[in-house]
Structure 1
Amino acid sequence: MIKLYGISWDDPRGYDSIVYISERYSEKYKDIHIQWDKRSLYDFTVYPPDKLAKYYDLVVVDYPSVGDIAESNNYIPIDEILSKKDLEFIQRISVGKTYESYLYNGHLWALPIDAATQVSAYREDIFKEFNLKIPKTWKQVIKLKCKVGMPLSPIHAHSSFITMCVNYFLDPFFIRLDQYNLKKIYTILDIMKNISDKCGDLCLKSDPIKLLDYMAEENEICYIPLTYGYYNYSRDKYRKNVINYINIPSFTEIPYGSTLGGAGLAVSIKNKYIEETIEFIKWFYDFNTQKMYWKHYGQPADIRIWIDEEANKITRNSYINTIYTISLSYVRPNFPGFIKFHEESGKVLVNFLTGKISKDETIKDLLNLNTSCCARK
């Protein structure tokens, strides 16, 4: 029997879905078995991909790591193993810029198997109880008469900062600032501080999964303006209460610039069964397989799922309600070392949110990080 080893992240969306699909594949092709391990959402983002390639044939990765993946020489470019026809098909069905996000230095380093971007989450039952309207602008977010939260652990704080900057037509990796753009950053930091102060340690210590779990189990947080969408929370009986999703608030009423997330499937050079891997990939992108993947808690990058009637009915239109946001999303850089820079920038923002540094000190620290890291890229 051929045995492949893979690793994903610890959430039904990332792990249960791919395990279920792999088991169905093994039933179809009884001489092939794919065994999956899982790691935390944090490790999914920051753990060095070159180390994973030593132990796994298939690695589910975050796209900002593809520069590190490419330079490690431990992964096979996908365009070297899949045909041009197959790649063109996958690119056509990939929602937004999910396919392009895995390109680096002329090669495709992973396949978009999962799609997410920062969207807004809300408890419809609480909104109805208090006769609230869903915010479309950041001014409306601040004035909302219920508790607002946002995942503000370092990387997610920086992701939200990026989203707000891009939406405000401001380069999030600024290396110089005039007074006009400086005022924009002051506004962004004020909004983030307002939300952080009201939410407290819960938000400062939360990633999207932790905060969404809290939102679904407790009747406290009514609205999250920016969080990576986990649409399983919109399904009945997934958690105690249902969470709905909608386009992000904006400075212009256009949900532009949301920081793209999602996950891709990379192939390590350790993998000795490339032909079998190719056949699995082709089977995975069949629409019937994609539908099965979604039914078992996956969140496909396949636009056919995002517009699918059943998928939207079961998730209270989460996909179609946010397709505008993901279509206008922003792709983070993926140069080698970006992940470390991403986290360090987030730590600066957390220092500001916790009152350790002023707005001006925050901007200075971010500018220094941008100058030392991004100006050379």
Structure 2
Amino acid sequence: MTLPTFRGLTWDHPRGRDALVAAAEASDLDLTWDVHPLSGFESTPIEEIAADYDLVVLDHPHLGDALARGCLQSFDDLVGHEQVSAWADAAVGPSLASYVMDGRLWAVPLDAATQVAATRTGLADVAVPRLWAEVVALSRRAPVALSVAGPHALLTFASVCVALGEEPGGAERFVSDEVGRQALELMADLAARAPRHTLDLDPIGLLAEMTEGDTIAHVPLVYGYVTYADTTLDQPVRFTDAPTLAPGTRPGSTLGGTGLALTTRCQVTPELLDHVRHLMSAPVQQDFIPAHAGQPSARAAWTSPAVNEPVGDFYRGTLETVERAWVRPRHPGYVTFQTEAAEVVREALAGSVSTAAALARIDDRHLATLPHEPQGAAR
């Protein structure tokens, strides 16, 4: 009997690639994983990917477009509500909830991440800044960078708004004028002193530079990558919770991470579903995935001393942030809005557009993509 052949697409970084490839090689499945760059992962239309692949690793904001185009299969239909409930109970923060729309789960969260603070402690010359005021003070003495390349300009802006006490993405405004103004002014102040070349670096570029040179002491908001916290590195990055406005307030952060989805072109077999269950199992989440440069989504892995010890407490040091992270809108058209609004934020930081004009343009783009009828998703 000829075994079915499966093709998967993930993103080209050890965190997104190594565990999936190793697990496929150890299985009885004929499953091949292709990769595309981080930029493609963040912006490629999901319908283009789903037409060519059976399994896709995606970001939760793509769900609206994917469901509008009928690209994905529901895990509730494939494995049942009891299994989905068990996965939800095990997940850290909103990492699983971010893939639920219309009351169904459309991807399993193999990987959990959010924006956190990254520091080269030897360069920061003081204790890791915990408050935004301390970040600003540090930027006057040491090189502090912002993550504003690609969509990250908007994601950093949104996270600062959350720290200021307001979740973006409302039905009438993306964010209020007062909070939006404060967020852009804070970012512009830091961007004015940031090393110029860092404004063009994505999270991987920023963190790689922190481990390889002495040009960046601190990034207050950047997606955490456990591979750069490896204590065997000559210059590991220390990851801590995202900054807060005041002691005890919410760390502003925008949830990231990735989910594994099955496309409608996929001819699902019991063996393939067993493989997904295996990837989500406690032993794989706590042992196999960390051993293969992955970043598990199970809360038990995030709190495990054995998982944390070789990576400088990466997980426990950022647990509060991921537990309280903001989940982006997921309606159709959101990814396009994210790309366009990020460019507006960069223009505001460069001073080529006023703060008021930037906020108005962000609102216009946000309102243009909002659905006319409420979506079934839980935010």
Aligned residue in 2 for 1:100: 97
Other-structure match for 2:42? 45
- Could you tell me which residue of structure 1 aligns to residue 169 of structure 2? 173
d(CA) in 1 for partners of 2:14 and 2:345? 30
1:151 alignment partner, one of 142, 147, 154 = 147
Q: Which is worse superposed, 5-14 or 248-257?
A: 248-257
1:7 equivalent in structure 2: 9
**Per the alignment, in what secondary structure is the counterpart of residue 112 of structure 1?**
strand
Cα distance in structure 2, aligned partners of 1:375 and 1:55: 28
SS in 2 for 1:241: coil
Find the counterpart in structure 1 of residue 158 from structure 2: 162
In the alignment, is the contact (CA less than 8 A) between 1:66 and 1:335 conserved in 2? yes
Q: How far apart are the structure 2 equivalents of 1:151 and 1:256? A: 16
- SS in structure 2 opposite 1:249? coil
> For the residues of structure 1 that align with 2:250 and 2:238, how far apart are their CA atoms?
17
Amino acid at match of 1:198: R
Contact kept? 1:154, 1:349, Cα under 8 Å: no
How far residue 19 of structure 1 moved from its aligned partner, in angstroms, is 0.8
* Residue aligned with 1:221, SS: coil
Match of 2:275 in 1: 280
Equivalent position of 1:185 in the other structure: 180
Per the alignment, do residues 244 and 346 of structure 1 end up closer, same or farther by CA in structure 2, a change over 3 Å counting?
A: same
Classify 1:182/1:67 alpha carbon distance in 2 versus 1 (closer, same or farther; 3 Å). Answer: closer
Asked if the contact 2:145–2:219 (Cα under 8 Å) also holds between the matched residues in 1, the reply is yes
Q: 1:298/1:194 Cα in 2 relative to 1: closer, same or farther (>3 Å)?
A: same
- Deviation, 1:247, is 0.5
Q: Is residue 2:269 matched to residue 1:271? A: no
> What TM-score, normalized by structure 1, do the two folds share?
0.92
Give the SS at the match of 2:151: helix
Name the aligned partner's letter for residue 16 of structure 1: D
Runs (5+) with no aligned partner, structure 2 = 375-379
- The CA deviation at 1:125 is 2.5
State percent identity of aligned pairs.
Answer: 28
Report the counterpart of residue 195 of structure 1 in structure 2: 190
Relative to structure 1, the CA distance from residue 348 to residue 375 in structure 2 (aligned partners, 3 Å threshold; closer, same or farther) is farther
Instruction: State the Cα distance separating 1:342 from its structure 2 match.
Output: 0.7
Unaligned 5+ runs, structure 1:
none
Please list, as runs of the form range in 1=range in 2, the aligned pairs for 1:25-174 lying within 5 A after superposition.
26=27, 29=28, 32-127=29-124, 130=125, 132-144=126-138, 145-173=141-169
The letter for the 2-side match of 1:248 is A
Q: Which moved more, 1:109-118 or 1:15-24?
A: 15-24
What amino acid sits opposite 2:55 in the alignment? Answer: L
The structural deviation recorded for 1:355 is 2.1
**Cα deviation digits, residues 40-79 of structure 1 (max 9, x gap):** 1111111111111121111000000011111111221111
Change (3 A) 1:167 1:126: same
Distance 1:255 1:21, change over 3 A: farther
User: CA RMSD, aligned part only?
Assistant: 1.8
Match of 1:349 among 338, 341, 345: 345
Q: Deviations over 1:334-364 (max 9, x none)?
A: 0011000011110100111122111122122
1:164 to partner: Cα distance: 1.1
| Residues 133, 258 of structure 1: alpha-carbon distance in 2 compared, 3 angstrom cutoff | same
AA partner of residue 216 (structure 1): T
Change (3 A) 1:278 1:205: same
Structure 1 CA distance for aligned equivalents of residues 31 and 235 of structure 2: 34
Q: Offset of 1:106 from its aligned partner? A: 2.3
Match of 1:244 among 216, 232, 238: 238
- How far did 1:126 drift? 2.3
Q: Which amino acid counterpart does residue 303 of structure 1 have in structure 2?
A: R
| Partner of residue 327 from structure 2, selected from 327, 331, 338 | 331
Contact 2:243–2:252, Cα closer than 8 Å, also in 1: no
Q: Is the partner of 2:217 in helix, strand or coil?
A: strand
Q: Which moved more, 1:286-295 or 1:242-251?
A: 286-295
CA, structure 1 residues 20+143, in 2 after alignment: closer, same or farther (shift >3 Å)?
Answer: same
Alpha carbons 1:21, 1:289 under 8 Å: kept:
no
CA contact (8 A) 1:196 1:203 kept: no
| Residue 5 of structure 1, CA deviation | 0.9
Secondary structure class of the residue paired with 2:152? helix
SS of aligned partner of 1:170: coil
Residue identity matched to 1:20: A
1:154–1:345 CA contact under 8 A, matched in 2: no
Query: 1:195 Cα shift?
Result: 2.0
2:303 maps to amino acid: I
Contact 2:229 2:238 in 1 (8 A): yes
Contact 1:8 1:36 in 2 (8 A): yes
Match of 2:377 in 1: none
Cα 1:34–1:147, aligned 2, differ >3 Å: closer, same or farther? same
- 1:214 offset after TM fit, Å? 1.1
Runs of 4+ in 1 over 4 A off after TM superposition: none
1:182–1:51 CA distance, 2 compared to 1 (3 A): closer
For the Cα contact (< 8 Å) 1:161–1:172, is it kept in 2? no
- TM-score, normalised with respect to structure 2: 0.92
Tell me the alpha carbon deviations over residues 295-349 of structure 1, each in whole angstroms, 9 at most, x when there is no partner. Answer: 1101011111101111110110010011011111110010011000011110100
> How far is the alpha carbon of 1:375 from its aligned partner?
7.6
